[in-house]
Structure 1
Amino acid sequence: MKKLFVFLWSLVISATAMASEGKFSFNSGNWAADGEKTKVEKHLGQESLYLQRGHLLYQEAEMQDGILEVDIAPDPARGMAGIIFRHDGKNNYEEIYIRQGKSGQPDALQYTPVFNGSSSWQLYAEHQSRQVFKPGEWIHLKIHVQGALAKVYLDHSDTPAMVIPNLLHGSKGGKFGLWTLNGAHFSNFNFTPLNPASAPTTTVSTDLPANAIQRWQVSQPFLVKDVQPESWPNLQQLKWETLPTDAQGLLNIAQYRSKQEAEAFESNTDDMVWVKLELKSDKEQTKKLYFEYSNKAHVLVNGQPIFFGDNSFRAKNMIFRGEIDKNLRTNALYLPLRRGSNTILVALSSRANGWGIMGRFEDMTGISIK
């Protein structure tokens, strides 16, 4: 995150009304911003803060569990804006936001965890919701957070617009604030703390698909421009770390590796890691590996390139989102294995929106992962 500057923003909130509702609120507070073109002004009849781009973090309190609310008026074209919470000060946090330009589409409301500054929404398409926003009106966003569970409400509805049963950063506390990509007005921000002891227990399935890969070896990161991914890498220069997948079989690389520039979206640096899987085969054979990745992947088997694919946002057309298929139904590799040891290498690169890999074998007959 860029160097922070601190300013005071006076929020117009009725202290008496908030106290009667038992909410923690503030009439003014210290905020830290890394954003652009910040100004306080009247908008749609309400006192508001306009932020062109970036983040605002409230400095005088942290939250573990609680209710966050704000009125948002994004810029109508490509406006994306929302709430960030459980921010650890090191660019790891939860993010829930609305996309007014996507009104009526399946991704109008989104959740993504942010690891090391990298948004990962292409890896979590299950946390999106089709919503319709009225143009030229305030959108009320409310997030109820307890433990690893978050419920998202829009425009004072009692019915959740989205339920997230497994917040990826778990239940730890952190700072909270606001975020926008292409400009938004914010008004009437409220925070109500909740007792963490009352947090419900959420159940997330840990039943991986049969023959799912549950660990990968991952190298240190490189800039793509410094590597020729189609060629055999110098293995002696690579430092391997064995990393586990999550409960769905996904390995989010950004959780463990940092990009050189992660917060400028399509203007980010193009970073890559080598991902390795070592197999032992009892004979020469071909094995089918169902395979998903984001954004780009070069695959080598025993030094020979067999595949290249590009799932980047808009790589195939202007509406291509590049989301991965966690059911592993749409892509497969046929791996030519020799008897004995085999090395599968993937040059996995990402510029923005997701950096991950997952796979499962059709069957494991005659092979084992070393």
Structure 2
Amino acid sequence: MKMLKIKSFIVATLFIFSLSLQAQNTLKDWQAFSENNEPVSLAEQTYKEKTCVKLDGKKEAIVINKAKNYQNFRIEFDVASQVMAGVGFHVKNEQNYQFLYFRPGYGGTQEAIQYIPIYNGGLSWVLYHYPIYEAKTDIKSLEWFHATIEVRNKILKVFVNHKKEADLTLTLLDTDTESGNILLRSMFGDSYFANVYIQEIPKTITDWSISEQLPRDKSYDYSDVKKMKTWTKINDKRDEMVNLKRYFEYPNGTVFTKKTVSSDADKPHLLYFDFTGKLQIFLNGKEVFNYAKYKLDRLDNYENCIVLDFKKGENELVFIIEGDAFVFGKGFNSMGRFQHQNWGFVASLVEKNR
């Protein structure tokens, strides 16, 4: 069993970009365009002691990375802007994407940060506004500040100057694309971008097949899973936690969950996960994890990580999971009945970089 305890936000597929012209091997994936959508070249420069690139909103309006599509990601950068600078993501083309931008001239007001969807080129800022789509933060025109934008399972979070609490949190509006390229954009004046880093966040697995509920006062192994004839498919995309209590009227047992994962070759993957109670994990019939938590902790998407050696073709991933009832002895009293209060898990899967 290969297991790694994750103590901080570590993503297996760390993808780092530099907007420095000294790093041609990474800059080659970025292309700049004018406001007339004409390809242009960017020149590296220094602004207030930071090496950066400048977008003036006209001759150099956007810079886009077309090498990779992102669904869930975290981007960090330093920015100094005269009027308006931001990040476009889930980019389908130059006329359709999601857009998060900053107005440094309105720092300290509810218009400092704004999110809008760009449909067919429309900058619909009057349609999406405070208190949901705009937020306050302390930024100033043409002064450097640090921005972090995180998108995970339709949730957008924006952090300014390394705050622990997000300045803006919202649920993204539905568009016709769930993933796409990333671009940087300036409008109505100069913007400077430096130290741009993008991390891909593994997609949370929400589509599973679950068994009927079984008694929790016995041990189970993979042979019991193979005997199960009835399976129910679940896929609650809006909830990254697989909350098993929602599927059973009296949640107090053990459940098997399974998922088939296809691999185009023999290759290792990383499974990030956390859970309540007791959990066994099997890959293609072999046990790869077995642990019981004897206390209650808040779940963390990246608390645990194991390496799964996938074979070419279809691979069967199975969880056998019990909730927290055993922590309380016979269960926690829920209005006259003893049961699980917390019963579920969260899991993400990503190909391992060799």
Normalised TM-score (structure 2): 0.47
Work out which of the two has the higher radius of gyration on C-alpha atoms and give 1 or 2. 2
